[in-house]
Amino acid sequence: MNDLLTIDDLVVEHRSPGRPVVRAVAGASLSVRPGEVVGLVGESGCGKSTLARAVCGLNPITAGSIDFDGQPVTPLGLRRRRLTGIQMVFQDPYASLNPRRRVGDQIADGLRAARDTAASPADLLERVGLPRDFAGRHPHEFSGGQRQRIAIARALAARPRLLIGDEPISALDASAQAQVARLMRDLAVESGAGLLFISHDLSVVRLIADRIAVMYLGKIVEVGDTAEVWANPRHPYTKALLAAIPQPDGLGVLPAELPGDVPDPANPPAGCRFSPRCPLVMDVCRDKEPDFGPVACWLHEPK
Ligand SMILES: Nc1ncnc2c1ncn2[C@@H]1O[C@H](COP(=O)(O)OP(=O)(O)OP(=O)(O)O)[C@@H](O)[C@H]1O
């Protein structure tokens, strides 16, 4: 099946006056097929949001390309973006929903964008597991999990072919996290849309994703089928992320044997970006960047 989304060697830089250029995405490649759920994981600051925003046309591309449905994605206005069939669900549903408007009216915006006259906001609320009569209420009347369901209903109303969740569960209570993640997966798959699900929480991504892509300092360092990556992580960074999961004080915390913080993307290390923190570092790692997939590590160079 053809890809719905193809990201090829994407570079996205942030430039602000008087500050060094931040290469937040530094040559990342990734694809999503229709009906496929791809989980994008990595620590805070590794460039996940910048990548997602570039896919939506919200961040200009410095180099490389993004194709959606065979067409290049370029920075677009909101109206055009709706028409392209990409919808995003953000981390904080309270910030992304308008507090002054009834939720039914906000969902109706999406239905209008898709020129959908058959469905009603109440139908969408039902699809995300909420009572139909919530349509007349305002966002502040709901819990975080309910608000995120409303944001998902609004996104779905526009009939996206690609749904992007940018840390959509990280602001929710633990009890709501897996439910909301599963809901996004079920609704995307049911409608044949692709889902790019961004999270620093590998254990939730494991529950819903067909494939996992691991990002480190602007690069995808490993991509593979979820079960395979989970059972046999190959990049030392993926291993470290997985090893961090059982820690009781939170997920995504690197284990003690991995030294140092994530380096500054404005001043990345030479060679492999992970080399200063890698327990298996070799000489070649400090000299040459491993610019290949599916595992960008000199220990796993393709033959
Ligand atoms: N508008 C901006 N101007 C300058 N630097 C930016 C801007 N937005 C992001 N950055 C920097 O780019 C890098 C990647 O940020 P990004 O938000 O994409 O990462 P992330 O993985 O999504 O992190 P988080 O999970 O914390 O949102 C970070 O170093 C961040 O400080």
How many beta carbons lie within 10 A of that of residue 39, not counting itself?
Answer: 27
Residue 221 in this model has a pLDDT that exceeds 90: yes
Outline where 70-173 has alpha helix (H): 78-84, 93-96, 103-113, 121-127, 144-157
Interface predicted TM-score (ipTM) of this complex, two decimals: 0.96
Which of 78-92, 122-136, 173-187, 237-251 has the largest mean confidence?
A: 122-136
Interatomic CA distance for residues 115 and 135, integer angstroms? 19
Which pair of tokens denotes residue 213?
A: 């892509």
Q: Which residue shows structure tokens 């890809």?
A: 3
* Closest ligand 1 atom to Cα of 218: 14
- Which range is least confidently modeled, 127-141, 166-180, 200-214, 251-265? 251-265
Phi, then psi, of 210 in degrees rounded to 5: -80, -40
Residue 294's identity, in one-letter code, is P
Residue 70 in this model has a pLDDT that exceeds 90: no
Residue 58 in this model has a pLDDT that exceeds 90: no
DSSP string for residues in 202-260: HHHHHHH-SEEEEEETTEEEEEEEHHHHHHS--SHHHHHHHHHTT-TT-TTPPPTTS-S
Q: What is the pLDDT of residue 83?
A: 59
Q: What is the pLDDT of residue 82?
A: 54
Residue 249 in this model has a pLDDT that exceeds 70: no
302 alpha carbon – ligand 1 mean position (Å): 31
- Which residue, judged by its Cα, is nearest atom 24 of ligand 1? 44
Sheet holding 211-216, edge to edge: 86-89, 162-166, 194-199, 37-41, 211-216, 219-225
- Mean pLDDT of all residues in 172-193: 91
Q: What is the pLDDT of residue 57?
A: 86
Burial class (CB in 10 A: 0-12, 13-18, 19+), 170: middle
Which of 7, 40, 50, 90 to mutate for ligand 1's pocket (most ligand atoms within 8 Å of CB)? 50
Predicted TM-score of the model (pTM): 0.92
- CB neighbours of 283 closer than 8 A, spacing ≥ 6? none
Q: What is the pLDDT of residue 128?
A: 94
* Closest ligand 1 atom to Cα of 49: 22
- Which residue, judged by its Cα, is nearest atom 3 of ligand 1? 14
- Which residue, judged by its Cα, is nearest atom 20 of ligand 1? 45
Asked whether the beta carbons of 98 and 139 are under 8 A apart, the reply is: yes
For ligand 1, which residues put their CB under 6 angstroms from it? 14, 16, 22, 24, 42, 44-50, 167, 265
Cis bond before residue 294 (omega within 30° of 0): yes
Q: How confident is the model at residue 301 (pLDDT cuts 50, 70, 90)?
A: very high
DSSP string for residues in 18-72: TS--EEEEEEEEEEE-TT-EEEEE--TTSSHHHHHHHHTTSS--SEEEEEETTEE
Q: Which residue has better confidence, 69 or 164? A: 164
Q: What is the pLDDT of residue 40?
A: 97
Which of 7, 14, 215 to mutate for ligand 1's pocket (most ligand atoms within 8 Å of CB)? 14
- Pairing of β 63-68 and β 5-14: antiparallel
23 alpha carbon – ligand 1 mean position (Å): 9
Which pair of tokens denotes residue 23?
A: 């290469």
Asked whether the beta carbons of 236 and 244 are under 8 A apart, the reply is: no
- Which residue, judged by its Cα, is nearest atom 4 of ligand 1? 14
* Residues composing the chain: 303
Q: How confident is the model at residue 94 (pLDDT cuts 50, 70, 90)?
A: confident
Asked whether the beta carbons of 167 and 95 are under 8 A apart, the reply is: no
- What's the CATH superfamily of 5-85+160-300? P-loop containing nucleotide triphosphate hydrolases (3.40.50.300)
Residue 245 in this model has a pLDDT that exceeds 70: no
Q: How far is CA 29 from the centre of its chain?
A: 14
- CB neighbours of 141 closer than 8 A, spacing ≥ 6? none
46 alpha carbon – ligand 1 mean position (Å): 7
Q: How far is CA 192 from the centre of its chain?
A: 18
- Which residue, judged by its Cα, is nearest atom 2 of ligand 1? 14
- Which residue, judged by its Cα, is nearest atom 7 of ligand 1? 14
